[in-house]
Structure 1
Amino acid sequence: MAPLPSTLRRLVAILGLVHLFSTVSADLDSNLTGAGVRSVFPGDSDYASASAAFNLRFTLDPAAVAYPTTPQEVSSVIQAGIDNNLNVVARGGGHSYVANGLGGKNGSLVIDMSSMKAISINSSTNTAIIETGNRLGDVALALNNAGRAMPHGTCSYVGIGGHSAFGGYGFTSRQWGLALDPIFAINAVLANGTIVRATEDSYPDLFWALKGAAPSFAITTSIEVNTYPAPSYAIVMEYSWSNMDFSTAGQAMYSFQNFSLSGPASPFAGELVISKGSQAGQVTFAFTGAWYGDEGSAVSTLQPWLDTMPTPTSSQLVGNGSYIDTVAQLSGSSLDTSQAPDSSDTFYAKSLMTPEDDPMSLEACTAFMKYLANEGFSSDTNWFVEVELYGGPNSKILEIPNNATAFSRRDTLFTFQLYASSSNSLPPYPEDGYSFVDGMVDSVTSNMPSSWNYGAYTNYIDDQLENWQTLYFNGNYPKLQSLKDQFDPNNIFMFPTSIAE
């Protein structure tokens, strides 16, 4: 018998899923409709858009996507999931690199937080309550309108809920910490539907777990944060060196590491950005930085490193000097996320967090650049690497112990984001793209001692990462397992990289 054509096989698969979900959907529909929660189900005209992943490598079929507007409705959705024996996941901005916000697998019940976007700012206490359906751009605008700010990443469309749940690095993190650090209370709904407010005094163990691994323990509905005065002056710095040979690039990264370890002032932030060169053996080497201190001090702060570098191909200061302008410049897209639809991509990404007390050798830096200059030149992907400065002696991130929150990799100097898209940003993803990105990390780790205590960053989540429990959570994982058994004994909040009991 001849095999079915691929399009027919897909149709059969879809029909099978519809049959699988039909009984569940009927009961689930009744539960959610009875609770007054707008929901989208398989077969609905808007199901395809409601279940679309940011990373188009993933095509998933959730049992339903629910859009609650209150914590009480979130509780009702969780109860509906329990009644129908479904795993429940939250989706904020939807930018999980492996579609964990859709469950990371078929058949999950998705709680989409996009209808919960209130931001309340208390000008007398300089605190804010931010619902987790907000995107980073919207948070930045709302706080800036009150003259305030908080640490967060650059992409304006990323959701504040997931971003702060797993750390939340940004260009102001060396002076203010990670996005989770100014959080003093988390309003959430537990796996049994109970609505709680977790702080250091109330539900302290839960509060600890939510600050680094939240989606495994509860659905966060809002965070309460201390805010900072928006800096009176801020500017973006951009330098680029085209067609740098790999040996020079390795030395340049090594010298940037030395500069970072020398302790640049905390208003300084920056990252190296490496991309394809114009011929084999070369890379494009760039630096993007930001300065949040006194006007006129940006370049002088960076100058000790620039003195070790070749003359740049281009250099400029970008922006009008205002804090919110630097947020917009670093984002590269509108901060008002209602102005345009979100983007999508087809990609594979990994991360690498290097320990502050055991920096990379010159050999490892050079091997990394050699790999990018040669295998990167021949790769048919569109790739980049960002080497983000977390640490140095003046970094706020390092002032908090690794075991103070579930986020366990504070003693990090650099975090690498290693990212490769398909050539046209659409499926299918090339098979050799996986080995290419894996090789980026290997080129560094294989040139360091076997005992090197490197880590990985949960916001650059990797579905193919081995030993992820240790790389993401290090010594905090056993405590997280114990708390998982306490707060979610039936594993309602389960996805491929969730905490296991």
Structure 2
Amino acid sequence: MLGIIQLLSVLVLVASSFCVAADLRGSLNSLNITASFPGDATYASASSPFNLRFAFQPAAITYPKTVEEISEIVKIGGEEKYPVVARSGGHSYIANGLGGRDGAVVVDLSNFGDITIDSAKGSAVIQTGNRLGDIAAALGKAGRGLPHGSCPYVGIGGHAAFGGFGFASRMWGLTLDTITAVNVVLANGTVARATDHNHPDLFWALRGSASSFGIVTSIEVKTFPAPPTGTIFQYSWDGLNATTASQIIATLQRFVQVNDIPPHLGGEINLFRGPVLGTISISFAGGWYAPIENLNATINPLLRQLPPTSRTSFFTGTYLETAENLGGGSLDTSAPDGHDTFYAKSLMTPENSPMSDAAILAYTTYLANQGFTAEVGWFIQMELYGGRNSAINAVAPEATAFAHRRSIFSIQFYSSAPNNVPPYPPSGFAFLDGLVDSITSNGPKNWDYGAYPNYIDDKLVDWRRRYYGTHYFRLRSLKAKYDPMNIFDFPTSIDE
């Protein structure tokens, strides 16, 4: 008898879920809002994540054409108890743009692709369906620029929501630092414009944690006159032993701390698998946004402290041409983007507590050995945030919800499955977790390092502290104010 009761309970639950799904479809269809649902011919493609390690089933993927339609979608989600998430470019490392779990209503912003540029005022209004390639091309043609990453397909929505780093960031700041106003749909469906003077507390939260507070439809930004020339450079060292590799990283860290390096130098240290066991390869790459003849005067004092390079490369052109170069030769995003199957982690090193020499040596030793034998492919980017004259670090730590102003490096650890296709091997998790631990366990006691929300890690246990630091408590209070029913809910959203 008990089995029959349990079966009836299951049937009631299934019938109820079908009823709710039908209500959602009916509610959206009644407003003529385009949407894709499970079972539709378009659904498999529409719900495909960038990172194929995940496979979520949204309740619906909507394609609003107006801000008013977004407002209605948010209200329907709230009324029918669905979490609602925004998808700008769809490049969330853990598929938060699909809800980060089954059953979300996705607001796909691909119809929001307008860019309005006012060169005289040095401003632009950018809708959040734009990709970085679209923005760089449009601004570049108008003789303007904006600090942002180099991958053309990344959406501006998430990029600007949590930071936004590029080689121009030491000169101009993070993408979110350029924002003067945010146009957003709130949890109750209200359409708001947040600025320093209008909803200043919300404006603070939207610059560092926007996805938890609303659906951002456009950002208003200050732009910068594009430099007349720029150079993309790379200095490479191949097949280094762990000790030599650690000395290069430590030397560069000290160099940016003690030298008066100009803001128009941006860069990163890249690390790759070495040619034989016990080795790794390193490059120092970046952008120089000033006449090239002045580059040597800045870099040579560093190079004199390092081993001879294996090779160097330089590309000089207009600012727009340097963006195209960094984008792989084109900023065109009209063709479909690719996919990967990967795991990523991050680490932001405090300016007042840099990586110790012991931590750096443990890090390079791990890479030279476990990195060579790892089942996964991998690369590491140590992005230069700090150093003297950095516009990133010049912003007060409390000015925005971005928590890690006083950082030297933001390090991305990225590992892909063989051939970039599922499944991702379990050994890959152990490899990358051990790599990060080689640094943190050899750092100062109680080292207060951070992590970067745009390189989001689904296995980071203390993510609230690492992503948001002490800002988390203020964000949690604002979440209760602006989204008390937790409509904008995904695995790493702010808790009320």
Give 2:158's aligned residue: 162
Aligned-CA RMSD value: 1.5
1:440-473 superposed Cα distances (whole Å, 9 cap, x missing partner): 1111111112221110000000011011101110
Letter in 2 for 1:290: G
- What is the CA-CA distance between 1:29 and the residue it aligns to? 1.4
Give me the whole-angstrom Cα distance separating, in 2, the residues matched to 1:20 and 1:269. 55
Q: Matched residues in 2 for 1:330 and 1:152: separation?
A: 11
| Alpha-carbon separation, structure 1, partners of 2:197 and 2:260 | 35
Tell me by how many angstroms 1:45 deviates: 0.4
Counterpart mapping for 1:209-358 below 5 A: 209-261=205-257, 262-319=259-316, 321-332=317-328, 334-338=330-334, 340-358=335-353
Query: Which amino acid in structure 1 is aligned with residue 34 of structure 2?
Result: R
Counterparts of 1:470 and 1:464 in 2: how far apart (Å)?
A: 14
Q: How does 1:109-188 map to 2 (within 5 A)?
A: 109-188=105-184
Partner residue of 1:45 out of 36, 41, 48 = 41
* Count of residue correspondences: 485
| In structure 1, distance between residues paired with 2:149 and 2:13 | 37
Alignment CA distance shift 1:149-1:20 (3 Å) = farther
Question: Aligned-pair distance for 1:369?
Answer: 0.4
Whether 1:404 aligns to 2:399 is yes
Separation in 2, partners of 1:305, 1:20: 67
Q: Percent identity?
A: 51
**Which structure 1 residue ranges, 5 or more long, are not aligned?**
1-14
Q: Which amino acid aligns with 2:415?
A: A
Does the residue aligned with 1:36 lie in a helix, a strand or coil?
coil
Instruction: Report the Cα offset of residue 142 of structure 1.
Output: 0.6
Counterpart amino acid of residue 172 in structure 1: A
Q: Distance in 2 between matches of 1:461 and 1:299?
A: 36
- Is contact 1:156-1:333 (8 Å) kept? no
Q: Could you say what secondary structure the match of 1:388 adopts?
A: strand
Whole-angstrom CA distance in 2 between matches of 1:385 and 1:263: 26
1:238–1:318 contact (8 Å) kept in structure 2 = no
1:193 alignment counterpart: 189
C-alpha distance in structure 1 between counterparts of 2:138 and 2:16, whole Å: 44
Partner of residue 447 from structure 1, selected from 439, 442, 448: 442
Counterpart secondary structure, 1:56:
coil
**Correspondences of 1:419-458 after superposition (within 5 Å):** 419-458=414-453
* SS of the residue 1:368 aligns to: helix
Q: Tell me: CA distance 1:19–1:393, structure 2 relative to 1, closer, same or farther (3 Å).
A: farther
Q: Which residue of 2 aligns with 1:89?
A: 85
- For 1:386, the aligned partner's letter is Q
**Correspondence for 1:472:** 467
CA distance in 2, matches of 1:299, 1:21: 65
Residue 394 of structure 1 is aligned with which of 389, 393, 400?
389
Match of 1:500 in 2: 495
- Deviation, 1:123, is 2.6
- Distance in 2 (alpha carbons) for counterparts of 1:393 and 1:313: 28
Confirm or deny that 1:62 pairs with 2:58: yes
Structure 2: state its 5+ residue gaps: 1-10
1:275-330 deviation digits (Å, cap 9, x = unpaired): 101111100111111100123112331111111111111101124x2111111222
Distance in 2 (CA, whole Å) between partners of 1:462 and 1:377 is 23
> Which ranges of 4 or more aligned residues in structure 1 deviate by more than 3 Å?
15-21
Who is 1:8 aligned against?
none
The alpha carbon displacement at 1:334 in A equals 2.7
